[in-house]
Amino acid sequence: MEKPKLALRAWGKLGSIERVSPFGSGHINDTYLVEGAGGRYILQRINTNTFQDVDGLMQNIRLVTEFITEQTRQAGGDVGRESMRVIPCDDGRLCHRDEEGSCWRVLSYIEGSVCLQKARNEQDLFECAAAFGRFQRQLGAFDASRLTETIPRFHDTPKRYQDFERAVQQDTMGRAAKVQREIEFVRQHKADCRYLFDLQQRGELPLRVTHNDTKLNNVLLDERTMKGLCVIDLDTVMPGLSAHDFGDTVRFGANDCREDEEDQSKVHFLPQLYRVCERGFLSQAGEVLTAREKEVLRWGAKLMTLECGMRFLTDYLQGDVYFKIARPDQNLDRARTQFTLVQQMEACWDALASQKENGR
Ligand code: GN1
Ligand code: MG
């Protein structure tokens, strides 16, 4: 625990620190809860392999959180709890670089909030989807050109496919032979990878300010009412597609399994939960989305799940260098779970059409 405590010296203004403990379950950054005389805070070490332009990233977060805070104020909401705040170091910088080159930041801790790994019921999932729908609506008037692209081509699915093929060709760990079935599954979906990308290129889908990592555990709920309070993990806020934000909520939430389930017979995509996500998301974002955007939501669900599976499989082939793992084969299990979910979405594809499309 020495390094986090050392880093906190850059925030003398927080007063004496009593405890620093690991917090949350992110796959990329290291997160700690800081408790001290001045209250509770979140401390994070930013993964600088993943995020190379930390200053651009912190600037994005500052711009977006300030914008949301202002929107919340105007709507008469609870400013202290409905957006997180970046707490600058004593010298005014948004993050602190230590002697080893690690970057640290401090964020406000939202009191009376909970973060769930799995929805306990439909209402939890509805609140998650609604929180990301609201995020998109609140940022509807934000000029996306002010944002740095923190991970270039983050949800460029055709590019993710190319990265996957390269990892298969290189096979640096000698693992490809073991996962031929999974490789084949991805290859059968090569053409699908282009679907939303091409629509956007043709001007049929607009670029919006999107969150790009819209899973349940990136939303804080009020511990008393269990209503969505605030969206967290803003590292990947960038210009993007609304279908992707909707889709990642479905990927993580519209099922009854863990993301890294080892037993594929326990993995079930649940269409009724898909509808809950759709209702929740549209309850907030519906008024700003175009008819075309609403029509392609199911593609967002399928492609975010496929893309995430490709990324886990790519990382497995490359030796688990990107996503944190706690056990061998965890990335392979994560990939398999995503592919099972894709298959099950395909099995009920017609039923996932937007209500309007169904009514035609
Ligand atoms: C990562 O850091 P975390 O766990 O919120 C990843 C997402 C993946 C997700 C899979 C920057 O998010 O893209 O969808 O894991 N974030 C980054 O659970 O790559
Ligand atoms: Mg996260």
Please give the helix or strand (H or E) that residue 88 lies within, else none: none
Is the CB of residue 87 less than 8 Å from the CB of residue 110?
no
Q: What is the pLDDT of residues 145-154, one digit of tens each?
A: 999 999 999 9
Geometric angle at alpha carbon 265, from 264 and 270, rounded to 5°:
95
Q: What is the pLDDT of residues 311-326, one digit of tens each?
A: 999 999 999 999 999 9
Q: What is the pLDDT of residues 184-193, one digit of tens each?
A: 999 999 999 9
Q: State the Cα–Cα distance between residues 230 and 77, nearest whole angstrom.
A: 11
pLDDT averaged over every residue in the chain: 96
**Whose CA is closest to 322, among 118, 96, 26?**
26
Q: Which ligand is nearest to the CA of 324?
A: 1
pLDDT at 41 (0 to 100): 97
Average pLDDT over residues 173-178: 98
124 lines ligand 1 (CB under 6 A): no
Residue identified by tokens 């999932």 is 125
27 lines ligand 1 (CB under 6 A): yes
Confidence of residue 359 (pLDDT cuts 50, 70, 90): very low
Is the CB of residue 105 less than 8 Å from the CB of residue 11?
no
Q: Which residue is closest in CA terms to ligand 1's atom 19?
A: 28
Q: State the Cα–Cα distance between residues 48 and 50, nearest whole angstrom.
A: 5
Phi, psi at residue 252, to the nearest 5°?
-85, -30
Average pLDDT over residues 319-340: 98
**DSSP codes, 191-240:** TGGGHHHHHHHTTSS--EEE-S---GGGEEEETTT--EEEE--GGG-EEE
Is the CB of residue 8 less than 8 Å from the CB of residue 17?
yes
Q: What is the pLDDT of residues 64-118, one digit of tens each?
A: 999 999 999 999 999 999 999 999 999 999 999 999 999 999 999 999 999 999 9
pTM: 0.95
Give the SS3 label for residue 242: helix
238 lines ligand 1 (CB under 6 A): no
Q: Which residue is closest in CA terms to ligand 1's atom 17?
A: 28
pLDDT at 358 (0 to 100): 47
258 lines ligand 1 (CB under 6 A): no
Which of 23, 25, 28 is the best mutation target for the ligand 1 pocket, counting ligand atoms within 8 Å of the beta carbon and taking the most? 28
